[in-house]
């Protein structure tokens, strides 16, 4: 089973970006750890990160028929982009919305997500570990992980 891990704007800056909010783990380190979890779960992960919204939309379109589901951290586009949700629903892509920070405990403008209503689930507030928790939940929801798999 293939799973896309799609990251939006400024997430390439993880590690140096507001470490008091997002921690000091880099995106490369998150991806490398997810690779290990993916191996454990028997899934193949396809990683990408975008600072241009149109490119992320096209990447979502290209998921059609290629991956079984996706982890999506859309960064600030979470709070602004109906177009991203339309792309995800347009190709019927099952996805888990991921955030390092607890967006509901932050500024009011971060408390609304345009993606949430289309997501299988949401994991937010566990720092870099949000991605691992989301991957385990997504694979389980897609029926890919054997019962009892950690």
Q: Is 78 in the site for ligand DQA (CB under 6 A)?
A: yes
Find the catalytic residue in 22, 33, 61, 79: 22
Size of the site for ligand DQA (CB under 6 A): 10
Sole binder of ligand DQA in the list 12, 31, 80, 110 (CB under 6 A) = 110
Considering only residues 3-32, where is the footprint of ligand DQA by CB under 6 A?
10
Residue indicated by tokens 């600030």: 76
Sole binder of ligand DQA in the list 40, 83, 101, 126 (CB under 6 A) = 101
Interacting span for ligand DQA (CB under 6 A) from 41-49, 88-96, 99-107, 134-142: 99-107
Q: Is 76 in the site for ligand DQA (CB under 6 A)?
A: yes
Q: Is 22 a catalytic residue?
A: yes
Question: Cα 122 from chain centroid?
Answer: 9
Q: Which residues bind ligand DQA (CB under 6 A)?
A: 10, 73, 75-76, 78, 99-101, 103, 110
| Residues designated catalytic | 22, 99
């Amino acid at each position: 089973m293939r799973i896309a891990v799609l990251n939006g704007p400024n997430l390439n800056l993880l590690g140096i970006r507001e470490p008091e909010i997002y921690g000091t783990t880099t995106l490369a380190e998150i991806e490398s750890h997810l690779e290990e979890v993916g191996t454990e779960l028997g899934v193949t992960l396809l990683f990408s990160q975008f600072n241009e919204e149109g490119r992320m939309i096209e990447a979502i379109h290209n998921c059609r028929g290629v991956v079984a589901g996706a982890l999506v951290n859309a960064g600030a586009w979470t709070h602004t982009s109906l177009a991203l949700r339309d792309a995800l629903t347009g190709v019927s892509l099952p996805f888990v919305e991921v955030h390092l920070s607890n967006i509901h405990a932050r500024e009011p403008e971060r408390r609304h997500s345009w993606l949430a209503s289309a997501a299988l689930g949401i994991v937010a507030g566990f720092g870099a570990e949000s991605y691992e928790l989301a991957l385990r939940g997504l694979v389980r929801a897609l029926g890919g992980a054997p019962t009892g798999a950690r």
